[in-house]
A and B are shown apart, each in its own frame.
Chain A
Amino acid sequence: MTSAAPLARHRGVIFAIWLGGIAAALVVAWRTHYVADLSAFLPSAPTPEQAVLLDQLKSGATSRLLVIGIEGGAPGDEAAAVARAEASRRVAAALRASDAFASVHNGENSAWADAGRFLFEHRYAISPAVDAERFGVAGLREAIDATVSLLGTPAGSLLKPILFRDPTGETLRIAEALTPARAPRIDHGVWMSRQAPRAVLVATTAADGADIDGQQRSLAAIHSAFDAAPTPGLRLVVSGAGKFAVESRERIKAEVERLAVLGSIVIVVLLWLAFASVRALAVAMLPVATGVVAGIAAVSLGFGQVHGMTLGFGTTLIGEAVDYAIYYLIQARGGDGAAKRWRRESWPTVRLGLFTSLIGFAALVFTGFPGLAQLGVFSIAGLVAAAATTRFVFPVLVPNGAPGAGFRRRLARVMSAAASQLPRARFGVPAVALAAIVALVVVPSPWRGELSSLSPVSPSDLALDATLRADVGAADAGTLVAVAGSSEQAALEGAEAVGARLDPLVAAGVLLGYDSPARLLPSAATQARRLAALPDAATLAARLAEATADGALPAARLGPFIADVDAARAQPPFGRAALAGTPLAAALDALLLPGDATRPWRALVNLQAGDNGRLDVDRVRAAIADIPGVRVVAVKTELDAIYARFLREAEWQAALGGVAVALLLAAHLRSARRLAAIALPIAAATLVVLAALALSGAALGILHLVGLLLTVAIGSNYALFFDHLRERGEADADTLASLLLANLTTVASFALLASSSIPVLRAVGIVVAPGALLCLVFSAAWLGRGDAPGAEAHGKIAP
């Protein structure tokens, strides 16, 4: 202030840096890729096995599966059943004709014509029965007798057209191995639900599960196929990961817009209350806007994309960041040097509040969910930018604060009344804290949130999904054996080794069956071994003559068989590419996951539980224990384990966050007595919120824990204020008003989140909104000086 010129230059530099920063952030935000898929709210995987699982959930074959139901009509209504079957055939045909689907199944055999031809042509490489013994005289006789025993039955009529080419029944053996034990019911030639009047279809989209636009197009194709010839009384239901993803994206988009609009209304109303001045209102928006742009840019740079939910969470930033503007604009008024005085007297308190909030949001960064980490980074960058704007830019831009008294006088009166009245009930604070502790001890632990509780998919949609999956025999959370191999062949050989160990378990009834990629694509070694076991034409002819001597099939008519076997001997083993264009390719993709430089090839063997529906995982594990690279993965158990681990980690992080806040306050206060006094109302508020949630029967998870930490971080500011008030014994009306305003903005912004239909946002909102309010009330009661209503005495509200 000694020289005007350097100061002006100094101001110019600050302003230029601010504008430059905003411009750069805007460029980044503009170029940002915005996403709204759910995978961001799946935990990042700690182990390679869980990585396989999560990969599958995010973009594997599971994520490309859509189950379609066509329902309508009474259960016994024959005409309706015919109409459903017709519609099923029509929709299936339309979807097969479109290129949006890799495969469509509805129970019609026609879908398998290509696959059947392929399997028939490669039967000697694929059939598990082929070995040298089977092509000896006794083996041939046995195999031919088994085939003949089926003739004259419905199964036999299917064999007849290929009888003289495949008298040993290799095609049948392959079909048996591929037919699932829990197949859907067939009625009128198509799959029908066993539970309800509903035809069911299973479609695998060509689009990747993570390609939500592609999934949306696939869903549109299904609807237009159904609507092409609508049948009165029939309706279409679709479920699957792609459907959930598309719907969630819509929901998140709508939610973000809603939160942005409501958030803006809240901030305008509150600022109008504070200043009743358009100019002040416009200026107060600056830190918020800067914070939002900086938050988006930081997330974009750190994660490569910004999740829609992060933007939705941004409304809480509005609530926090606007407080800085309010504090400054109110407190930095009055002539020359006001800004400097604010910087000296008030900024340290604001800074302390900023740091405690940062600690709270830092907990989000380390939760292990990429989506939550985004929220954390967004909030930290946003708060720092908003605080920096207030601290450095406002003194340049509005050196004398903002005019306008608004309704602050009334707010101040409310606040001073509260500060003088509430302390009369100060012992109510430890009393309710105690009651909350008792309630928490009595009520069963509410910490039973599951991973699924993070999903924005509604329970009714999940129920529909479970019903449709049951109809088609595709249980969701099963048990699988993951086989890792250094190459495709190694993975397939591993799957074959696992299959050999599982077969006895199937025979013993421990397992109902299993799906293995090696049944569709045997390893090259196995194919070569089978083909090598085939005898040459002359040998086969001689053996056949002997084997059929007194049998039902005359050797004379088996010429085509000899020719086919001879041709098969010259075939090279086929590879994955040979399956392309048949539904087998989609089936194989689901079970054989390509590896790359960072991860191995994986074969997945899906297990089906035995008769009682329960799977003896220990027996499976014991049976395959000595095969290298093999692991049994119980999907539900594994996912629950991942979540439980994250919850434990989050507990530690929350505890560390709490300790960090306490240390920060201790460093600021330098008094154990004052620290303890501040800690009590905060602890009481969190305990009451926790007890209320527990009593309401809510299942709490990681996000509620994060919410509790945020409550501590934000709520400590109010306690701190009353502590200062008690130590210094005075507070002007403006300070009281700005405190109430700050609390209202926080409570309002988190209450908005609590009203969200997205569980992730709602969980944080329902904890922090009441928590922040209680922190203020309890702090006023416990720390306020009921006997000295000094606020009013010092009341001065400048117009």
Chain B
Amino acid sequence: MTTRRPCRPSRAERRGFIAVALRAIGLAAAIAATPTHAAGFDLGALTTLLGRVRSGEATFVETRRIEMLDRTLQSSGRLSFKAPDSFVRETLKPRHEKLAVDGNTLTMSLGERSRTMQLDASPEAAVIVEAIRGTLTGNRATLERLFETTVSGDAARWSLDLVPRDLRLRGQVAAVRVSGRDAAAREVEVRLADGDRSVMTIEPVASARATP
């Protein structure tokens, strides 16, 4: 038996697609308008920098803007990752949730319920997971495979714009922007095609030890 997401709003999807297209054009324009790229600091340099950190822990605070409800939601918790491909996001407030990725296995726990699925069977989840996991572990190949990438800033203060290559996915996840300082990501901003937005600010715990 193979049922997937039974209810998909096709009209909303189409609307979302147009929004994404417009936003992508806007984004391209914005990138084109950016006057200076720090010379030499590109995706290769960034992933090399990030790849030096083999594991890390952090706390996060996330703010989500939900258009439909006309309000923001806030949550907070812990993040941890371990090269090459483990990543855990544990939300502690307002309710306990856990999302753990190990290789291609995604485990989501909500209260006492827990379900395991294959990451590559759910591309929209994979986009979010890989944007964060791929950046934290400095996995250049994965980032380039899934996203059109744009790096701006320099090693001290950088940001990485990720736009899904698959147009179908852009109809859901319009863009992800990861910003950071040195070898640590400090903010992940996700923009969904339907207009919802989330910003996750990250406060490294382990990197505080790593960087004197």
Which A residues are closer than 8 A to B by beta carbons? Answer: 105, 107, 109, 112-113, 115-117, 119-120, 142, 145-146, 148-149, 151-158, 160-163, 171, 174-176, 178-189, 194, 202, 472-473, 507, 512-513, 515, 520, 552-553, 584, 587, 590-591
Contact = CB atoms under 8 A, between A and B. Distances in A.
Interface of B: 1-9, 12, 16, 64-66, 68-69, 71, 73, 75, 91, 94-95, 97, 110-112, 114-118, 120-125, 127-128, 166, 168, 172-173, 192-194, 196-198
A307 to B, nearest CB: 35
B168 A157 contact: no
Nearest to A192: B120
Given A157-B16, A175-B4, A553-B69, A181 B116 contact: yes
B97 A112 contact: no
Contact of B7 (A171, A188, A512, A584): A171
Given A154-B124, A161-B9, A188-B168, A112 B16 contact: no
Interface class of chain B by DSSP: mixed
B8 A158 contact: yes
22 contacts: A145-B95, A149-B94, A152-B66, A153-B128, A154-B125, A155-B124, A157-B172, A157-B194, A157-B196, A158-B9, A171-B7, A178-B1, A179-B3, A179-B117, A181-B116, A183-B122, A185-B121, A189-B166, A507-B112, A507-B114, A587-B1, A587-B3
A184 B1 CA distance: 12
B123 A187 contact: yes
B73 A552 contact: yes
Given A180-B1, A185-B121, A161 B196 contact: no
Nearest to B171: A157
Given A158-B7, A513-B116, A553-B69, 11 more contacts: A116-B8, A149-B75, A149-B97, A152-B64, A156-B196, A175-B3, A181-B118, A186-B123, A194-B120, A472-B2, A587-B3
Nearest to B13: A157
Nearest to B168: A189
A117 B9 CA distance: 11
A554 to B, nearest CB: 8
Nearest to A109: B8
Contacts of A174: 6
Contacts of B114: 507
Nearest to A162: B7
A112 B197 CA distance: 28
A142 B66 CA distance: 19
A160 B68 CA distance: 8
A163 B166 contact: no
Contacts of A151: 64, 66, 68-69, 73, 196
Nearest to A78: B165
Q: Which 9 A-B pairs have the closest CB atoms?
A: A116-B6, A152-B64, A178-B3, A183-B121, A154-B124, A161-B9, A185-B120, A116-B7, A587-B1
A173 to B, nearest CB: 9
B161 to A, nearest CB: 18
Contact of A161 (B4, B12, B64, B66): B12
Contacts of A590: 1
Contacts of A153: 128, 192, 198
